Amino acid sequence: MTEILFDTLQLAKQLIAHRSITPNDAGCLSLIASRLSAAGFHCERMDRGVVGNLWARYGSAGPLVCLAGHVDVVPPGPVDEWRSDPFTPTERDGELYGRGAADMKGSVAAMVTAAERVVRAGGGGSIAILLTSDEEGDAVDGTAALVSILRARGVTIDACIVGEPTSTERFGDTIKNGRRGSLNGRLRVRGQQCHIAYPERGRNPIHDAAPAVAALVVTEWDRGNEYFQPTSFQISNIHAGTGASNIIPGTLDVAFNFRFSPESTAPVLQARVREVLDRHNLQYDVEWTLIGEPFLTRRGPLVDALIASVESVAGVRPALSTSGGTSDGRFLATLAREVVEFGPLNDSIHKIDEHVRIGDLEPLSVIYERALRSLFDFL
Ligand SMILES: [Zn+2]
């Protein structure tokens, strides 16, 4: 076993053995901070309540390249369905099993060992490692909080790599260079309740809303762009009625979600929804919750450095993708000039028997290392 693999595998196992279910870091961050301090990093905890946050920095010269991620994991689910205990790291058939192995303690271990090697070798630039224990939960006191503290200090990050598991079929096949935004809406259409035998005495919100809902469903919000699929509108819940068959209900509730490309903005989508509802003469209220803004990192120094590193180490030319749910990349993109995500296979994440291929840990660490080095040269 090479030293890189030994180091990375050992650290991944140590992290898995800490039961860091969101929002608890369960000691993961102290473990990492003590390693990084020994390597010469200046480590600061920026905890918020029970959420653990770590900002570790080496060097003060530019450019500043940040490796970011989370040490929290989703709950294991029914433990007796696991072939081995989810918090006892177990090697089997070339895989390392344990909750968080792929999402994303394997990546965190690879980032730490990559940063240690880059620091040991010396050279220009500064490295930061940003970690939280609140990514899988509300994500309020984690990366978002860290970013606002750093912004208040005037810190700017030149390039940031998030270690989310992005590979889909084969290790190295996918880099995420952006994510769609997410916007939730809760629509209440008001009618007037009455006996169903006397519809003229009330107003049926289901009948009022149906054509408006149909119009929303067929609306083309945008056409996406070369990096993004078109914005999608989906209804998640719809409810009206009391359960009785002789009552016209007084209200109808519709919950919906936009996954939107940077070709649309939340205010524009909101205005367009209201325009459709007004056109259908509905009496209504809508409550909006913006879950995340979209972000996009176009082809440039970071994307090119990472593609070259992946190609040279994994022998695969990675595709750029902006699919999937939101990530902490949306917060980092407000502080960093460029943000991308790259990590191991994601087929087992959040599942029973989560695992990462042991043979992918060393290439992963070497990819982060090479990306750091080439960014120091090119930025
Ligand atoms: Zn994750």
* pLDDT bucket at 164, cuts 50 / 70 / 90: very high
With 90 as the cut, is the pLDDT of residue 378 above it?
no
Q: What is the helix, strand, coil percentage profile of the chain, to 5?
A: 35, 25, 40
**Ligand 1 centroid distance, CA of 216 (Å):** 32
Question: What distance separates the 2 farthest-apart alpha carbons in the chain?
Answer: 83
Pairing of strands 53-58, 42-45: antiparallel
* Beta bridge partners of residue 345, listed in sequence order: 167
What are the pLDDT digits (tens) for 233-261? 999 999 999 999 999 999 999 999 999 99
Ligand 1 (ion): which residues have CB within 5 A?
Answer: 103-104, 164
pLDDT at 333: 95
What are the pLDDT digits (tens) for 113-162? 999 999 999 878 999 999 999 999 888 999 999 999 999 999 999 999 99
**Ligand 1 centroid distance, CA of 280 (Å):** 42
Give the active site residues: 72, 135
Residue 5's H or E segment, with its range, is: helix 3-16
With 90 as the cut, is the pLDDT of residue 379 above it?
no
**Ligand 1 centroid distance, CA of 100 (Å):** 8
Give the burial class of 289: count Cβ atoms within 10 A of its Cβ; 0-12 exposed, 13-18 middle, 19 or more buried.
Answer: exposed
pLDDT at 138: 86
What are the pLDDT digits (tens) for 189-203? 999 999 999 999 999
Q: Is the whole model's pTM more than 0.85, yes or no?
A: yes
pLDDT at 326: 87
User: Of 289, 364, 368, 349, whose CA–CA distance to 99 is shortest?
Assistant: 349
**Ligand 1 centroid distance, CA of 103 (Å):** 5
**Ligand 1 centroid distance, CA of 102 (Å):** 8
pLDDT at 195: 98
User: Of 241, 237, 366, whose CA–CA distance to 311 is shortest?
Assistant: 366
What are the pLDDT digits (tens) for 51-85? 999 999 999 998 999 999 999 999 999 999 999 99
**Ligand 1 centroid distance, CA of 253 (Å):** 32
Give the burial class of 134: count Cβ atoms within 10 A of its Cβ; 0-12 exposed, 13-18 middle, 19 or more buried.
Answer: buried
**Residue 94 backbone zone (phi > 0: left; psi -120 to 50: alpha; other: beta):** left
**Ligand 1 centroid distance, CA of 162 (Å):** 9
What are the pLDDT digits (tens) for 289-308? 999 999 999 999 999 999 99
Mean residue pLDDT across the chain: 97
